[in-house]
Amino acid sequence: MDEPAPRAPYGFRVGQDGGLEPVPEQGAAVRRVRELRAAGASLRAIRAALERELGERVGLDALSRLLRLVKEAFPPPSPEMEAVDAYRARFGTTPWMIHIPPDRMPAWLEAIREAVRTGRPLTEADLRRVVGHGYPPPGACS
């Protein structure tokens, strides 16, 4: 008995190897679905927006499958990685982030965000001081 062909969610098709591959013509709709869901839109609101904005008619089941796939494939970035990405975009380099104790991570994260806000990049020594890695805290050696 033949097995049924696997179904692909909207925005994807089953490739020759049996895996999912994106359908380029539906890429704009997939990106819009992701944006709308991240903004908290319901499936019905997403469906209406796709039809209104892109002329795409997508069923609720197809949207639901697509969102499950997107959620699994693209987990939301952590606050730490968002800060690193912002720092890299601003200064063209990745901040020092090796062996940061969990209790010092909030201070490190705030230092990275402050650097991006003020436009002043941090040195490795600056960040080591923030997390207490072998350097005295600022002002301790006056």
- Find out whether 107 and 80 touch, Cβ atoms under 8 Å: no
E-strand spans in the chain? 12-14, 20-22
Query: pLDDT-based confidence at 6, cuts 50/70/90?
Result: low
Residue pLDDT, tens place only, 97-106: 888 888 888 9
Any idea which residue has 């960040």 for tokens?
127
pLDDT at 138 over 70: no
Percent of the chain clearing pLDDT 70 (strictly above): 84
In total, the chain counts a number of residues equal to 142
pLDDT at 73 over 60: no
The per-residue pLDDT of the chain, averaged, comes to: 81
- The pLDDT, as a whole number, for residue 58 is 82
- Find out whether 83 and 111 touch, Cβ atoms under 8 Å: no
Residue pLDDT, tens place only, 14-66: 888 888 888 888 887 888 888 888 778 888 888 898 888 888 888 888 888 87
pLDDT at 122 over 90: yes
pLDDT at 2 over 80: no
